[in-house]
Structure 1
Amino acid sequence: MKKLYIILYILISFCSYAQIGIGTSNPQGILHVDGAKDNLVSGVPTSGQQINDFIITASGNVGIGNTAPQRKLDADAGAQSLRIQNLIRQVPADHDILIRSEASGDVTTAKYSYSINSASIAAGAAGTVTIPSTINIPAGMLIVRSGNACGRTMISTYMYSDMSLGYLSAVARDKVGVVTSSAGGAGTSSGWGVKFANVLGCADGGGATQFDYTIVKTGGSTYTITNNGNIARTYTLTVFRL
């Protein structure tokens, strides 16, 4: 009986520290599966031999087609696309996208779009809207939007990069915006004034000038909007990565 205990103890100790190889007698990690059973009996498998391998290392990294994974999941796609089926489809208010570093192969997330509302800006007053620095979209498209109580929406689009801001278009339902530009001050972009002539009045008090405004980029992620209309207005700013 004593001998049996000794044997069991040795086996348990062996299993606690052993590497398990499936299809290979030369495992490179805690669990190593050689799909094609083509690995070397000693040494590190070649890159061609690794492409059909799956491994879990002692640090918990998982490698697919790679026997020395450097991340929690490190896959060599073999110049093919990755396939994921039956993902849930959703449209959140803000979107992230996956981006891949060509140099390291690391896949990380980046913000694709972000929306923020200004405070209510009184007629003739100016307000500042700041995109959080954590959003990190230094160049892309900017959309400025505002609506009234009568179901009319004003939408203006711009391109921006660093301290440059370029006007593209503006509409308020059936009215096309008329734009004027002005030279920016020190450390700001050019300013853009947009007017929507003959917009119909609304029960909320908005007159023909209700959507008129001026915008200037005053910082890397800061915009100042001047409400040139006749009533207080809230603006929604949305930035998109291009």
Structure 2
Amino acid sequence: MKKRKAICIAVLFSGTAFSQVGINTTKPQQVFHIDGIKNNPVTGVPTLPQQADDFVVTAEGRIGAGMIDPTQKLDVDGKVRIRNTEFLTGTHVPLYVDENGVVGRSNALESEIAFFTSNATVNYGIAGANNGDEQIVPVNAADSSLNNIAVSVPSVGQVRIGVGGVYMISASVSPRLNFADDGDGYAYIAFNVDVSADGGTTWQSVSGGRPVFPRLGAGLIRAYSYTVPTIIRTLNVNDLIRLKFYRTKQGSGTTAVLQGSSFNSVALGSSYGAPTYTLSITKL
């Protein structure tokens, strides 16, 4: 009994006198320090390889594994494994790892997007539409319901990129067609997303398609809709984006022949819940 009391007193006295406890080391670096394989030097600070088997607890309550100077509540130098975790009832906040390896929560990232839409009816000149001339969808700054990526509308129908990067572009249109009683009873109309890198002097179609709309009755206005295929593209500052459509032709040059039936009127307009147009520009 006297021997046990002496050991306890000795441990308590050493902890009080030196405020540090070392196991397998005579020179603890923190309040509590274990040197796993007894490879720390008698003098000086252990090297990084020597710290690899160490475990410490600091006066601030920080724990270090594989290192002796933890900067977080739990600081591990090496791989971490967690076994047999329980399922959570919710996944409200995700965890992230920063460039220093610190694990924590992050503020929710706001989507970087500009979204334009309108329900207004837009009428087009019938001569140009029947001729196959390009018709521009009149995107307006006032049509923007969300814009946190600094895009602008320098002129109606043109959207300017404010920040360079990789973008996802989506669009839809809702044509309203009044067919004439001629041709084969179908409308052949191409819809495109165009990009200009020189201020609108030249344009390149980067997405689109040519749907075929049937005539459901001559002299009657019918509502149709089309969604342009989504694309991902790198855009630079001041690049321009526009939406256009046009009646297509068979062949090229002076021998090209307009396809399908002609129209009494051509418009874009909302119908059955579909807006006149949408243009979504998302920075990835």
Of the two structures, which has the highest relative contact order with CA contacts closer than 8 Å and spacing of 6 or more?
Answer: 2
User: What TM-score, normalized by structure 1, do the two folds share?
Assistant: 0.48
User: What TM-score, normalized by structure 2, do the two folds share?
Assistant: 0.43
